[in-house]
A = this chain, B = another copy of it.
Amino acid sequence: MKLFSSVHDVQDIKQLVASALALKASPYAHSDLGKNKTLGLVFMNPSLRTRLSTQKAALNLGMNVMVMNMDKEGWALETQDGVIMNGTTVEHIREAAAVMGEYCDILGLRSFPKLQNRDEDYNEEFFNKFVKFCGVPVVSLESATRHPLQSLADLVTITETWKPIPNPSQREGSSKSLNLAEGETPLPLGEAGRGLPKVVLAWAPHIKPLPQAVPNSFAEWMCKAQAEGMLDFTIAQPEGFELEESFTPGAKISHNLDEAIADADYVYVKNWSSYKEYGKLLDFPEGWMMNNKKLSLTNNAKVMHCLPVRRDLELASEILDGPNSLVIHEAGNRLWAAQAVLKAMLEEL
């Protein structure tokens, strides 16, 4: 793999999920693969999970890691071409990216959208220029419109926690999806007899206009998984909060949360701001925060969130602190998602 920026960069998502789960079972099985290889992690924005999980993933593969908080430790970057740089930007992304490529074998980049100009954000100008000019394989650590390491971890989490084949006699140990023997990984979703989980992406309230990167990306991966017969996917949001259509092919769309989550097996809670009224904080209706009452409408659904989460604004504490929450488990799987991607890149260096 030379680029990991979206689900479209992945040839076989089932295989990538299986690779992540195999690495979870044997984290150090490839600890020589990254010898003398260096991962550079470039942050234009804050990061906790991505920062730590990707570092750890690289260390597990024997790589060296260098972290660059470009927004704080480096120089203000220009991204536009053809401008005379006589303002506040000190270095052009053409040079900055190329230089980082000189020192690193693989680069990771986090660059949030500005939420001011939709075209600029959705063209992924910053991310794409970085990829173009750095000259080495790049992993997205969340770009303006996508967060694919998160989405891969989410699919890994669903695969891992979904109920196994109903008839245990079909496969020894199949009932211990979270407690597999060493080296053993769950069967892929959609395997004969395993049944399909109903997964719902549920919009949630917030006090700020947030990017669409996580929901875009989650939708894109779930739609792909649905197309491959791995699950059933629905998106619920208030009117006016529809995601850009190219991210949601085949998804069922609902404006009624209660109807959408009926019989759901997984509810993925996330706020995002309007794509149509870009960058604005729209009014939204009551009743869109997941809590135990709403949970009772589901098929005892597992509840997911990419974190950070604002408690009792986006998602009720009673869920986060209860038995149905997968949020920490899901964050833990960020490590294996990152390690699977880095492993695939190292194998092609």
Contacts from A to B (Cβ < 8 Å): 27-28, 31, 36, 38, 40, 43, 46-49, 51-53, 55-56, 59-60, 64, 66, 68-70, 72-75, 78, 81-86, 89-92, 94-96, 98-100, 102-104, 207, 307-313, 317, 320-321, 327-328, 331-332, 335
Contact = CB atoms under 8 A, between A and B. Distances in A.
Contact of A99 (B48, B69, B104, B320): B48
A52 B328 CA distance: 30
A46 B96 CA distance: 13
A52 B309 contact: no
Q: Which 4 A/B pairs are nearest by Cβ-Cβ distance? A: A91-B308, A102-B332, A85-B310, A48-B74
B100 A328 contact: no
Contacts of A207: 86
Contact of A78 (B38, B94, B102, B311): B311
A73 B69 contact: yes
14 contacts: A47-B74, A48-B74, A52-B100, A52-B104, A69-B73, A81-B317, A82-B317, A85-B310, A86-B207, A90-B308, A91-B308, A95-B320, A102-B335, A103-B335
B85 A313 contact: yes
A43 B72 CA distance: 12
A89 B309 CA distance: 10
A83 B312 contact: yes
Contacts of A335: 102-103
Contact of A96 (B27, B64, B308): B308
- Chain multiplicity (copies): 3
A85 B103 CA distance: 41
A56 B52 contact: no
A68 to B, nearest CB: 7
A116 to B, nearest CB: 21
A307 B51 contact: no
Contacts of A307: 91, 95, 99
Contact of A308 (B55, B95, B100): B95
A52 B73 contact: no
B68 A48 contact: yes
Contact of A75 (B46, B60, B92): B46
A76 to B, nearest CB: 9
A207 B235 CA distance: 51
A308 B82 CA distance: 17
A294 B60 CA distance: 52
Nearest to A89: B310
Given A72-B73, A78-B311, A85-B312, 6 more contacts: A31-B36, A48-B96, A69-B72, A75-B308, A86-B310, A91-B310
A59 B64 contact: yes
A326 to B, nearest CB: 12
